[in-house]
Amino acid sequence: MEAAALSLLLLLNSVDSGSARVSLTVSPKRSQFFKYDSFSVSCEEEEQSEEEEQLSGWRVMKRTKDGEVRPCPAPCSITAAFPATDSGAYWCEAGPGRASSTVNVSVTAGSVVLESPVRPVTEGDNVTLVCVCRLSRCRGGVPADFYRDGLLVRNSSSGVTTVLGVSKADEGLYRCEVSGAGVSPESRLTVTAPPAGPAAPHPPPPLLSVSFLVRHLVVAAPYLLSTILLGLVYRSRAREQKSSTATGPSNDVIMEISP
């Protein structure tokens, strides 16, 4: 019985930690799109980022520029994106206090977008930035300038540039410009520190959250109660037997149990 209770606790634990690391995925993996492009948004467990399965209980939320917040019903597929209604912040949510980090998506009516990592990158990674221009004269690649926080940081004759071994100093709001074609919207590049040690790739889930305590108490309560009840029943039975043998007048019993 105690083993069953323990395994139930362990099971709940694994559910708890499994759902704690959910992230929002944009497909294709970009945060800037042209008007009338199609893209889809889903919630995935970070450990299984290759799986396209939508997590149950989690839903995609969207806040547009005018501040309006509404869910994007699964599957959150946007066909023919529109700047005013599909630009904004997207995140995954599963009730109060359970939300993923936010991804900002820009849909532009212009002719230039910047392809940059949607999720934070790790210090030391190589990051490729692509300036995409949809005018026919851009076909095959055109020179582009890349700006970080408004300052020109790179230019590339092909519209593609790779930042080797990014550091915190590379963080910022990026945009690119193709001369004569226009400027892309801005997207934030976030650089995070590498994991502290090779032995600890995932920090343990917080142990003392309220939901954790409540769930464990609710599961443990029936086992505790039944254990106490059983104990009481055994004790009263034992007492009854004792008193019946003590007060029992039979000599036969005494003879039988003495060697």
Q: Which residues bind ligand NAG (CB under 6 A)?
A: 89, 102, 104, 188
Rounded CA separation 63/192 (Å): 25
Rounded CA separation 169/119 (Å): 17
Q: Tokens representing 209?
A: 């959250």
Nearer to ligand NAG, 108 or 156 (CB): 108
Nearer to ligand NAG, 54 or 104 (CB): 104
Q: How far is the CB of 228 from ligand NAG (least distance, A)?
A: 52
Burial 245-256 (b: 16+ CB within 10 A, else e): eeeeeeeeeeee
Phi, psi of 220 (to 5 degrees): -75, -30
Q: How far is the CB of 178 from ligand NAG (least distance, A)?
A: 23
Nearer to ligand NAG, 9 or 89 (CB): 89
Nearer to ligand NAG, 120 or 231 (CB): 120
Q: How far is the CB of 197 from ligand NAG (least distance, A)?
A: 27
Q: Tokens representing 75?
A: 């599957």
Opening angle at CA 50, ends 83 and 195, nearest 5: 95
Q: How far is the CB of 106 from ligand NAG (least distance, A)?
A: 10
Compute CA distances 194 → 96, 176, 191, 200, 201, whole Å.
30, 27, 9, 11, 9
Nearer to ligand NAG, 89 or 160 (CB): 89
Owner of token pair 């995935």: 44
Other beta carbons within 10 angstroms of residue 47's beta carbon come to: 11
Chain centroid, CA 169 distance in Å: 26
Nearer to ligand NAG, 102 or 167 (CB): 102
Q: What is the dihedral of CA 170, 105, 89, 35, to 10 degrees?
A: 150
Q: How far is the CB of 173 from ligand NAG (least distance, A)?
A: 8
Q: How far is the CB of 179 from ligand NAG (least distance, A)?
A: 27
